[in-house]
Homo-oligomer: A and B are copies of this chain.
Amino acid sequence: MYNSYLEHSEWSIIESGFKKENHMSSESIFSLGNGIFGQRGNFEEDFSGDKLDGNYVGGIFFPDKTKVGWWKVGYPNYFAKTVNCPSWIRLSIKLDGELLDLNKVKVNSYRKELNMKDGVLRRTFECELINGKKIKVEAERFISLKIQEVGMLRYTITSLNSDCDITIKSFIDENVVNVDSNWNEQFLKTEKIIQNDNSTFIKSKVLKTDFEICSFSKTRILSEKNELSFSSKNDTSHNLNYKLEFNKKLTIEKIGGYVSNFSYSDDLLKKSSELINKCSEIGYEDLLQSQIELWEDIWKKSDIIIDGDVKAQQGIRFNIFQLNQTYMGQNPNLNVGPKGFTGEKYGGGTYWDTEAYCFPFYLSTKNSDVAKNLLIYRFNQLEKAILNAEKLGLNHGAALYPMVTVNGEECHNEWEITFEEIHRNISMVMAIKKYIDYTNDFDYMLNMGIEIVVAIARFWAQRVSFSNKHKKFVILGVTGPNEYENNVNNNWYTNYGASWCLRYALKNLEIINESNNEKFNSFNFENGELDFWKKVTENMYYPFSEEHNLYMQDDGFEDKELIHVDEIPKRERPLNQNWSWDKILRSPYIKQGDVVQGIYYFEDEFSKEFIKNHFEFYEKYTVHESSLSASIHSVVASHVNQIDKSYKYFLRSSRLDLDDYNKEIEQGLHITSMAGSWIALVEGFGGFKVSKDKITINPRIPKEWKSYQFNIFYNNQIINFKVEEDSILINAENIKELNIENLSSKIISYE
C-alpha cells in the first residue's frame, strides 16, 4: 500500500482530516456517476490548490488532431478525447468578504464519505478563516439513477462563532479546460447562455464536431425559516448577500446536469428546462430516496460479502460500485471506458478491457440484456471493423475491431497499438463464447455472433504468414497484452488466441451448417477457405525455449537479460514513470500478464503442470504496471492452489486505486480493471464457471477470511454462494432449476 490515507470501512470510503496533497487523488476516488454522465469528487466551493474539475458525459468527444510525427497509411483521422464539461456544482462563498478556500483557511475537522450502499457523497468540515470566522459546512450530493441527466447537491453552512455577512455565488463554471488538451485550448464553445430567476442554461458546441450539449442548473437558497430570493447577474451566476446569524444554517440546493444531442434530438434547452421542472416537482428528498432504493436493487444482484477482512470488503465493494457508476447497460451505444467518468486519460473510448474484463461481471450480475447490449455495441460496429481491416490491406470481410473507439472507428494512433495490438480480436470472440455458455442464447449467435466470429476468423487467416524457416504459420509484427514489448514476432498469446478463434469459428460453423444451411451459405466461403483455417490451427508456430523448457512470450524473449523483478531497485518503480521507453522495451519486464492471460482464457486446454510452470516463470518478470494484471494473476494463482499469492493479487487489484499502487490515482480510477477483481474472487477463489446449463464451482478461501459470499444473477434468479473453510452454502429462489457441480472437497449445502 503506497498511499493509504483512506479509512477502512465496509460500505463507505472515508477521508478524515484534510491534506491538500491528497486532494486530486480524492477527486478521483470520490467520483460519482450513473452510467450516463459523471463527475470527479470536486469541491463545490473555490479551491486554489491543485485540482482537476471534471465532468464528463458519455458519448461526447473532441476529435484531436495529431499532425506530429510521420503519418502512416491506415491511421485514424483523429484521437477522441472525452470533453470536460461545464461544472454545475460550483459555488463561490465569501464570509465577511473572505473567500472560502480550503487551500487557505485553517481546517479544524474534515470528513468526506462516499456511501456506496446509497450512492451518496457527503462532506463535512469545520474551518476558521483568516479573518477569524468559523463555519461548518455539510455538503451532500449524488448523481441520480432515477433521472439520469441530473445530479443533486445540498450544501449547508453554519456560522460557528458569530453573525457574519455571507455572499453566495452559485454558478456553472464554463471555464473548464481538458487537462489533456495540447495547449490548454478549450474543446467546448459556449453558444448561448439563458438565465432566469433561479436557473442557468449554457448551450455549447464541441469544436470540430456536431455535438451540442446543454449544461444546466437550478439554485435554491434556504434559511432555517424560509426560501430566500436572490439576484442573477449577466453571467452564469445567481447571487445572494445575507446576514447569517450565529449558529444558524443557510442551505443551498442545486439541481444540475446535461443533455446532449448524443441522446436527444429535440430542443436541448427545452429538454433541460423540463428536467429541472421535473426534479423540482419530485424534490430533493424523494430523489434521494429513489437513489437509495435503486442502489439497493443493484447490490441485491451483485454484492460480495467478505467476512473478517474489512479492507478486502471495502475494495471489492468499491470496484462493484464504480463499475455500476460507469455503465448500467441500458444503452447499446454506450460502453465502459478505462477511466469511466473519473478522468481524461485514455480519452474515454472503449478498449478490449470491456470484453476481456468487464463482460463477465455484467453478464453475471445483471439481466442478460445488459451483456447482450455490450455485444450489440460491437455488432453494430462490425461494418466499421471490416473497413478498419480493409485499411490495413485485408479483404473478404475480415474484421479488425479498433483498439480504442467511441463509435466504431479506430481513434488511437500509435502504430504499435493501433495496428499491432490485434489480440483484441480474440477477446471479442471470447465474450461471445462466454455469453453463449452462460445464456444458451443461440439465436444471438445465429443472428449476430457468428457474423463477428467469421469476420474475425477471416482476419486471422489473412494476418498469418508462412515462415520458410520454421515451416509453420507465423504472426509477425504484433504487440501482445504486455505493451512493454512492441512489434514482436510470434507473441504466444496472439498466436494461440488466433488459432483458438479459428477453431471456435469452425466449430460453430459446423453446427450452423447442419441446422441452417442458408445462413452458412450466406458467408460465401471460398473454395478451401475453411480447410485453410484448419491448416493454420494445426500448423501454428509457437516460440519455445529448449533451455527453459517453456513457451516463450515471443521471439527474442530469450535474448534479453533475464533479471528478476525483485532485483530492480524500488526507487525505479513503476518502470513507466522512471525508465525511458527504450529501456523498458529491451528489458524482459511484463506490464501485464501475456502468456498468463492466455492461460486464463484457455485454461481447459492445458495441464496443471503446464500452467504452474509458465505462471511461475513469467511472474518473476511481471511488474503489474497495467491495472489489468493483478486480477488475472490472482485467478491463475488460485487455480494452481497458491492461495496466499492469489490473495495478495486480489488485494492489489481490488484496492489498486484506494491504495494507489501505481502512483497515478489523481488522473482517475481504473474502472475496467475493477471488473478483474470481481473475476479474481468469483472465478478465481470461487472457481465459478457456467457452461451449457451447468454451473461449476471449485471454491478456495484465503486464510484471512472467515467466509465470503457472492451473488450471481443466472436464469432470472439471484443465487448466493457462501464459502467457508470447509463448506459451501448456496441460496437461491429456485434451487431445483440449477445444475451445480462442486469440484472442491468442501461440503455443499442448500438453503
Contacts and interface: CB of A to CB of B under 8 A. Distances in A.
Contact of A69 (B79, B419, B576): B79
Contacts of A181: 67
Given A489-B559, A577-B73, A415 B467 contact: no
B73 A467 contact: no
Contacts of A249: none
A730 interface: no
B414 A580 contact: no
A562 B583 CA distance: 31
B183 A65 contact: yes
Contact of A579 (B65, B393, B585): B393
A460 to B, nearest CB: 14
Nearest to A404: B69
A393 B583 contact: yes
Contact of A487 (B487, B547, B583): B487
A726 interface: no
A477 B67 contact: no
A580 B72 contact: yes
A568 interface: no
Interface in A47-82: 64-70, 72-75, 79
Interface string A393-430: 10000000000000000001111110110000000000
A67 B562 CA distance: 33
A581 to B, nearest CB: 4
Contacts of A392: 580, 582-583
Contacts of A558: 469
Interface string A160-187: 0000000000000000000011110000
Nearest to A75: B581
Nearest to A485: B487
A69 B412 contact: yes
A81 to B, nearest CB: 9
A464 to B, nearest CB: 10
A97 B561 CA distance: 76
A105 to B, nearest CB: 34
Given A469-B558, A489-B556, A580 B66 contact: no
Contacts of A69: 66, 79, 412-414, 417
Interface in A522-565: 547, 555-556, 558-562
A66 B556 contact: no
B182 A65 contact: yes
Given A556-B556, A559-B474, A561-B465, A182 B67 contact: yes
A735 B412 CA distance: 63
B581 A73 contact: yes
Interface residues of A, number: 58
Contacts of A419: 580-582, 585
Interface in A63-120: 64-70, 72-75, 79
A586 interface: yes
A20 interface: no
A392 B561 CA distance: 18
A476 B580 contact: no
A555 B415 CA distance: 21
A580 B477 contact: no
Contacts of A65: 182-183
A181 B65 CA distance: 9
A74 B477 contact: no
Given A64-B68, A474-B559, A576 B413 contact: no
B66 A477 contact: no
Interface string A463-483: 001111110001011000000
A570 interface: no
A73 B559 contact: no
Contacts of A581: 72-75, 415, 419
Nearest to A181: B67
B67 A580 contact: no
A692 interface: no
Nearest to A72: B581
A243 interface: no
Interface string A361-394: 0000000000000000000000000000001110
Which 4 A-B residue pairings sit nearest by Cβ, starting from the closest? Answer: A74-B580, A419-B582, A65-B182, A72-B581
Given A64-B182, A393-B583, 9 more contacts: A69-B412, A72-B576, A72-B580, A73-B579, A75-B581, A393-B580, A474-B559, A489-B559, A555-B555
